[in-house]
Amino acid sequence: MLQVVNIEWHAIAPGNMPNEERTVLVAFDDMTVESWPLTADDIMDGQVRAGRNMGLYWAESLPHPDED
């Protein structure tokens, strides 16, 4: 199975976050990308941290291959 996706990345910053809590992709400063459950605090602060790593960009989660 081949799934081709386009990812539109958004800078993590106050005022540039989703409006509600949900799981998104986050690109961190250590060059990793993780599926991340955004909390209300993440959204309000415009900041995502995982230990010493800082999130730089967020994107919508990828759809399941069978999703219509």
- For the question of whether the overall pTM of this predicted structure is more than 0.85, the answer is yes
> Considering the domain boundaries, does residue 2 fall inside one?
no
Name the domain count of the chain. 1
How do residues 34-45 score in pLDDT, each as one tens digit? 999 999 999 999
Alpha-carbon distance of 45 to 54, in angstroms, equals 13
Residue 49 lies in a domain: yes
14 to each of 3, 18, 50, 51, 62, how far by Cα in Å? Answer: 32, 10, 18, 20, 23
Domain assignment present for 1: no
Looking at residue 68, its pLDDT comes to: 65
Spatial neighbors of 5 by CB under 8 A, at least 6 apart, are 62, 63
Residue 43 lies in a domain: yes
Q: What is the mean pLDDT of residues 6-30?
A: 96
**Does residue 3 form part of some domain?**
no
The answer to whether residue 39 is domain-embedded is: yes
Query: Is 35 inside a domain boundary?
Result: yes
Q: Write out the residue range of the structural domain in which residue 47 sits.
A: 10-60
